[in-house]
């Protein structure tokens, strides 16, 4: 395991348990085999060939991270993500697809996805992304993050937004919205990475979401965050 993977692994309470969802069995097998090379970092616990099977396996296997394709027969990845996040909000869904159109990114974020990657991603970067979303971080191309997140922004209520987060937790969320990783947030606040990780977990628990991406969307929708907070 590389040094950066070891750092992520140390931050997480346990290595993430991963479910691979794709309608091409050869692709699933290939991803599973490549992830096996990083077995100290992640654990593949199952595979699903369509959205309905994915929903059933999430309920029975309780994975930490779901690698989700979009285009599948029957229930597609967008609908499957919506159902999974409704029933198991703490599960992080990481989209892995060939489609890079903004409408797909937006639809998946609406459904509750924590991140969005293309299938040409290198296995090292995929592994890092799995560890990132497991640690509550966002995986979204900075070039599209402002445009995509911007559609969620709402002006605060006249009496001011009622925020259920502490002042320090809001500092962490605001820095996260700006694209800072946990290590960068720790440096900005003068605390340890472990402390930032704890704050992020508290944020996710209080908001009932499974990823930093969802927490940022929640903050924008409730007027706690503004477009100027985005990268």
CATH number at residue 173: 1.10.10.10
Residue at which a domain ends, from 85, 111, 146: 146
Look at phi and psi of residue 229 and say left if phi exceeds 0, alpha if psi is from -120 to 50, else beta: alpha
pLDDT in tens, the chain (231 residues): 444 444 444 444 478 999 999 999 999 999 999 998 876 789 999 999 999 999 999 999 999 999 999 999 999 999 999 999 999 988 999 999 888 777 888 888 889 898 888 888 889 889 989 998 888 777 876 556 666 677 777 766 555 556 789 999 999 999 988 878 888 999 999 999 999 989 988 998 898 887 788 888 888 888 888 877 776
Q: Which residue segment(s) compose the domain that 61 sits in? A: 3-146
Q: Which residues of 49-83 are buried (b: 16+ CB within 10 A; e: fewer)?
A: bbbbbbbebbeeeebbbbbbbbebeebbbbbbbbb
CATH number at residue 87: 3.40.50.2300
Could you tell me if 62 and 124 lie in one domain?
A: yes
Query: Which of the listed residues 120, 146, 172 is the one where a domain comes to its end?
Result: 146
**To the nearest 5 percent, what fractions of the chain are helix, strand and coil?**
50, 10, 35
Domains of the chain: total: 2
* pTM score, whole prediction: 0.70
């Amino acid at each position: 395991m590389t040094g950066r993977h070891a750092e992520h692994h140390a931050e997480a309470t346990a290595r993430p348990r991963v479910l691979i969802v794709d309608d091409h069995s050869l692709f699933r097998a290939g991803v599973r085999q490549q992830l096996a090379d990083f077995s100290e970092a992640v654990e593949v616990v199952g595979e699903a060939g369509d959205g309905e099977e994915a929903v059933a396996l999430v309920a029975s296997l309780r994975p930490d991270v779901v690698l989700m394709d979009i285009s599948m027969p029957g229930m597609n990845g967008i609908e499957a993500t919506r159902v999974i996040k409704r029933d198991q909000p703490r599960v992080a869904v990481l989209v892995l697809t060939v489609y890079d159109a903004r409408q797909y990114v937006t639809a998946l974020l609406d459904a509750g996805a924590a991140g969005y990657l293309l299938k040409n991603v290198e296995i090292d970067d995929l592994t890092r992304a799995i560890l990132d979303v497991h640690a509550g971080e966002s995986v979204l191309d900075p070039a599209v993050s402002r445009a995509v997140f911007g559609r969620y922004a709402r002006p605060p209520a006249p009496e001011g937004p009622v925020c259920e987060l502490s002042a320090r937790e809001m500092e962490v969320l605001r820095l996260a919205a700006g694209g800072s990783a946990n290590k960068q947030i720790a440096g900005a606040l003068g605390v340890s990475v472990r402390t930032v990780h704890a704050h992020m977990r508290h944020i996710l628990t209080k908001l009932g979401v499974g990823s930093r991406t969802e927490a940022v969307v929640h903050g924008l929708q409730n007027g706690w965050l503004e477009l100027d907070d985005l990268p």
